Structure 1
Amino acid sequence: MTSDSRSVQSQSQKTNLKLETWNSKLETHNLKLFPTHITLNNRPTRVDELIAGRENATGWERDWLDFLAEWYDARDYIEVKTSGSTGEPKNILLKKDFVAASALRTIRFFNLKAGDRVLHCLPARYIAGKLMIVRALIGQLDLHLVDPATDFEVLQSGLHFKFAAMVINQVSKILEFGIWNLKFDRRNLDFLLLGGSAIPVSLEEKLQQVQTTCYSSYAMTETATHIALRQLNGPGKDGWYHGLDGISVKLNENGCVRIEMPGLENGFLQTNDLGELKDERTFRILGRADNRIISGGLKFSPEELEGKLESAIDLPFYISSKPDERLGARLVLVVEGTESAGLISQLRESCNERLSRYEQPGEIIFTPALPRTGNGKIKRLPPDQL
C-alpha cells in the first residue's frame, strides 16, 4: 500500500469514527463523509487510487481530483474562493461537516438515492462544483463527469440522469443549439438546478417548454452553496425562494436578508441582498443594497430595471450611474457592443417602452467587452473604470 493510500485509509477511519457523534441525520441515512470508493460512470473506483494518480491529470480533470485529495486530507476544513461578483475574490475556510450538511440537504430535497446517476459539468474550482463531488460521495451517487465546456452531447446519449447543476450560460447553450430541441424531459434528466447568477426572464420563459423540473438556487460560497430553492417551471412554478431544512431568513433594519443556519459563525450571515419576506422560510430577492442608486431623491434597484429590459435587449448589459450635480447620480445603461446610431435608437425605444419617466437612463455607454468574474458573472464596474 502506498503512503497516499495509507493516509487516505487512516483519515477515512478517523473521520468516520467522528461521524458517529457528529450528525444523527447522517446516521439515519447510513451516509459516510469519507467512503473508500466513489462511483464513476456506474463503476466503483477506489478513492486512494484516484488521488495517487492525479499528478497525471490536467485541466478540469486535475481540478476535481485535487479537490478529492483536499476532501480526504487530515484537515477538518476546505479552502474555497468566493466568486468576486460583489467585491474582490477572497479565500475562506469551510468546515467539512458544514459542507456535508449542505450536501445532505440537497440529497434529501431531491430524494437522491444510492446509485442515482448525476451529471457533473461544473468547474471544481468553485464551491458549486465541489459540492457535486461531496453529494456523490456521501450519497453513494453515480457521478458522471464531463468537461465544463462540454457541448452536452451526453444528454443525447440515451443515459438518464436524476440530477444536474448548471450555470446560466450552459443552459442557454443547450437551448440555443437545440441539444434538447426544447423537449429535454425526464427521459434525459429529472431535476436541473440553475445557479451562478439571476435567471434572465427570457430563459425562464423558455424553460416553461421543458419537462425537466428546473430550480433556481439562492446560494453563496459562505453557505456552501444554496440555502433556498425556487421552482422555475411545471405545476409547482413559484416566484418565491423556500429555505431548505433548518434554514430561516430575516430582514435587518435596511431590508437586507439575514440567513440563519447551523454551522455559521454566531449562527447567522448578514447579506447585502434586499429582500421581501412572506414568512421566515419564504422570500424573494429585490436586488443588492450596495448596487442601489439614489437619483433625484428616488431609490432605484438596477436589478429591477434590468429585469424590465432584459427581454428587449439581446446584448449583455447592466444599469449603473454617473455623478450628476443636479440629481446626485444619473442612471446610465452600459452595453457590451459597438456603438451605432441604429443600435442607440433601438435601445432608447426599448427603454421608453418598458421604463417609467424617472427610470430612463440619461446616457448609453458602449464597451467591447463587459468585465466578468472567473465564473462568468458580469462585474458592475462604475463607467469610469471600464
Structure 2
Amino acid sequence: MMNERTYKKLHEQFRLNGISYSKEELKEVAYSFVKEGKAFEKEIGDFLIDWLNNESTVTVHTSGSTGVPKPIVLRKQHMVNSAFATGDFFNLKPGDTALLCLPVSFIAGKMMLVRAMVLGLSIDCVAPSSNPLLETSASYDFVAMVPLQFGGSFNELDRVKKLIVGGAPVSYKLKKEFLIASLRTNVYETYGMTETITHIAVKPLLAALVETDIDLDVFTTLANVKIATDDRGCLVIDAPLVANETIHTNDMVHLTSEKTFKWLGRLDNVINSGGVKLFPEQVEAKLAAVMENRFFVAGVPNENLGQKLVLLVEGIPEIAALKEKIANLGSLKKYEIPKEIFTVDAFVETSSGKIKRKATLKKVAL
C-alpha cells in the first residue's frame, strides 16, 4: 500500500465522487471541471490543476476576516504534512469516507482534497450551502464545516462520525442546541489559520462525547507543534512541518500546558473600559443565551471610560425587550453589560461570510 508522505503521488485508495483516478486521469477531470463544471467544481478543478503540476508550491489567499485578503505561497509538502497530522490525530484510515462541502477558494476546502489524495480517503464533493448533507444520502467518517453549516445540519448529522468545525468560534447558542439535540457525532472545534495550513489545535465540543474530565475550553495541539506566548500574551506557534517561520498571532491565550491552551480573544478586539480589559468574544458567549439575531460587541471612544462597551445587532430587534433580557442575564458582570445598543441592517462580511467588525462599526453613527 502506498503510504509515502509526498505530494508527488496519489494514494491508491483515493476516490473522488466514488471513482478512482490516476494522476493523468485526475488532471483530465480537473480540466473538465474548469471548462464545464458548476461554480464550486471550477474551484475544485483550478486547485487540482495547481496541485498536480510540477511546482512545489501553491498560492492561496487568506480569508480577510482580520485584514485585507492577501496571497500566501505554501509548500505542497507542508500541506501533506498537515494532512497526515490531521489523519493521525483523528485516526483516519485509507478507504474512510469524507465530504467536501467548503469553498475550495480557501485553505480549508483545499485541505479536504489534499487529505483525501494523500491519506486515501473516498471524498464526495457538493456545493457549499447551509446544510450540505441534504445534497447527499451517504454517511461519512470525516467532514469539515463552518459554524453556519454545523448549525444547519443538525437533522442530518447522524450520518457523520467525526466533524471538525472551524473558520470562526462555535457560539454558545449552537453548543446549547447541539446538546439539546443529543447528537452522537464527535464534533471538534479547530484553531488555525491559512499560515498554519488550517488547524494546529483542536478541542472537543461536548463532554458527553469524550472523557468527562476533559476541559472543553482547552485546545490541544497536533503533533510537532510547539506553542508559547509573547510579551503581549498572544500565541506564538512553532510548527516547522507546516510553516517555514515561527508565527506570531494576535490571539490572546492562556497556556495550560506545553500542548494545551485556552483562547481568550483577539488582541485587535480587546476593549479597555475604565481600566478593565474586556474580551468581546467572552462577553458575546454570555450574551448569546438571549440573542436571536447576529450580533457582536465592540469598544467605542468615551471621555470618562476611555472606551465604552456597545452592542451591535443585525436587523431590527425590539430594543427595550432586549435590554431587559440582558439586564436579567445573571452570567454578565456589571462592566460586561453594554452601555448602548445599535442596530445595522446588514453586517459587513468577507467573501467567506465572516463578520468584518471594524467595517460594520463604521456604519453606525456614533
User: Equivalences for 1:169-208 in 2 at 5 Å?
Assistant: 169-175=148-154, 179-180=155-156, 184-185=157-158, 188-208=159-179
| Alignment map for 1:90-129 (pairs within 5 Å) | 90-129=70-109
Whether contact under 8 Å (2:107, 2:197) holds in the other structure is: yes
Does the aligned pair in 2 maintain the 1:228–1:241 contact within 8 Å? yes
Contact 2:250 2:267 in 1 (8 A): yes
SS of residue matched to 2:98: strand
Q: Deviations over 1:220-257 (max 9, x none)?
A: 01000000010112123632100000012111111111
Matched, 1:349 2:328: no
Quote the residue 1:35 is aligned against.
9
TM normalised by structure 1 equals 0.85
Q: Counterpart of 1:205 in 2: which secondary structure? A: helix
Residues 346/257 of structure 1: CA separation in 2 closer, same or farther (3 Å cut): same
Shift of 1:307: 0.9
Pick closer, same or farther for the CA change 1:302–1:361 going to 2, 3 Å: same
Aligned to 1:18: none
The answer on whether the counterparts of 1:34 and 1:138 sit within 8 Å (CA) in structure 2 is: no
| 1:41-89 superposed Cα distances (whole Å, 9 cap, x missing partner) | 3320321221332322230000011000011123211111111111111
Corresponding position of 2:300: 322
Query: What per-residue deviation string (whole Å, max 9, x for no partner) do you get for residues 265-314 of structure 1?
Result: 66411111110111111011000111111111221111111111011111
- 8 Å CA contact 1:121, 1:150 repeated in 2: no
Is residue 44 of structure 1 aligned with residue 23 of structure 2?
no
Paired residues for 1:225-236 under 5 Å: 225-233=198-206, 234-236=209-211
Q: Return the match for 1:71 from 48, 51, 71.
A: 51
CA distance in 1, matches of 2:105, 2:176: 30
Query: Would the aligned equivalents of 2:201 and 2:220 in 1 still touch at CA under 8 Å?
Result: yes
Larger radius of gyration: 1
Residues 263 and 110 (structure 1 numbering): CA distance in 2 closer, same or farther, change over 3 Å? Answer: closer
- Give deviations 1:73-125, integer Å, cap 9, x for gaps: 23211111111111111111111111111111111111111111111101000
The aligned length equals: 348
Which of 327, 339, 343 is matched with 1:366 structurally?
A: 343
Provide structure 1 residue ranges, at least 5 long, that are not aligned to the other structure: 1-25
Q: Which runs of 5+ in 2 are unaligned?
A: none
| 8 Å contact kept, 1:193–1:214 | yes
Q: Which amino acid aligns with 2:210?
A: P
Partner letter of residue 219 of structure 1?
Answer: G
CA drift at 1:153: 4.7
Q: Aligned partners of 1:111 and 1:151: how far apart in 2?
A: 26
Is the Cα contact below 8 Å between 1:166 and 1:195 reproduced in 2? Answer: yes
Q: Structure 1 vs Structure 2: percent identity of aligned residues?
A: 35
Q: Which amino acid letter does the alignment assign opposite residue 235 of structure 1?
A: V
Asked if 1 retains the 8 angstrom alpha-carbon contact of 2:196 and 2:243, the reply is no
Look up the match of 1:160: 139
Partner of 1:311, secondary structure, is helix
Distance in structure 1 (CA, Å) of the matches to 2:141 and 2:242: 30
* SS of the residue 1:310 aligns to: helix
Pick from 241, 244, 250 the counterpart of residue 272 of structure 1: 250
Measured in 2, the distance between the counterparts of 1:136 and 1:173 equals 25
User: How does the TM-score come out when normalised to structure 2?
Assistant: 0.89
Structure 1 position 262 matched with structure 2 position 235: no
CA gap of 1:307–1:212, structure 2 versus 1, over 3 A, is: same
Distance 1:306 1:154 in 2: 30
Q: CA–CA distance in 2 between the matches of 1:189 and 1:210?
A: 10
The amino acid of 1:79's aligned partner reads T
Which residue, 329, 341, 356 being the options, matches 1:379?
Answer: 356
